[in-house]
Chain A
């Protein structure tokens, strides 16, 4: 499974880790919805670190789209809450 950490790069993560990632991802969203910034930052940091830890950086000569794209590591709570809708984080 290829996971991209936005603004950082792609990682090849073992498929076994999908469940863990999904759990952390959902927890981060739950914290976001609950307005719990501290919880969000803690969960999101764990999510990013899990990918860096378990994943292998994808070499530059591979041109494959990612299965999953995570927000940038320095995403702010407000940005995460903004649901990345419309133009969102991505410049037009």
Chain B
């Protein structure tokens, strides 16, 4: 087949012959191949351990974000109780962003979970094939003439070699994905440390501007709704929503300055994109 599958087969075959090249006679092919198989099995185990480590790291970060959400919520309540609605809004906006980030972390953790499972399955499959290869090589040695044994051995070795190349590929892809997540997690952590939480919205994976704007709109109205809810809970009503917010402007993110002048919660999603 000349298409994608043909190209893929060519690449895999090149990989297998690279795996088996070093052996010159059939028995050497067997031993060399077997040794390679065992090596790869060790690598797969290491790969699984890496995935588990990354998962734990993300879970730790998830916990931090959860704490952050609680903290920002409390701060919003305190700000509102003190009559500083602008500050409350900033806190709620940040809480919203932290929650969005939390959702994305959750799905990353789920992905890692899935990868861990896939790699565990691959490991078991490869282990079974290696076991099969080991018993087969004894049968081949015992039952066949040298010439025939060579053909059968190289077929079996190619079969296992293909499995090895494929497990290697699956592992590489899993680890690449994990690396990407790590890089993203690091970036998030840096932003968090720098206190630029609001910039987190720009880290969304592969979304375009329209997605982002839509989300900003919905997050704006969510913030409004939550602010209203909090006010109702606190019984703060409209009397606190006066000019008291002036002091909070320094803490505000690059929002619409006009927003600070508005009294009471804005009915529209008033953030500048």
Question: Which A residues contact B (CB, under 8 angstroms)?
Answer: 3-4, 6-7, 9, 21-22, 25-26, 28-29, 32, 44, 60-66, 68-72, 74, 80, 83-85, 88-91
Contact = CB atoms under 8 A, between A and B. Distances in A.
Interface residues of B, number: 36
B5 A7 contact: no
Contacts of A44: 4
A88 B168 CA distance: 13
A69 B12 contact: yes
Contacts of B129: 60, 63
Main secondary structure of the interface of B (DSSP, over half): helix
Contacts of B6: 25, 68
B250 interface: no
Among B1, B5, B14, B160, max chain A CB count under 10 A is at: B5
Main secondary structure of the interface of A (DSSP, over half): loop
A63 B11 contact: no
A19 to B, nearest CB: 11
Contacts of B163: 63
A91 B9 contact: no
A65 B11 contact: no
Contact of A90 (B125, B128, B155, B165): B165
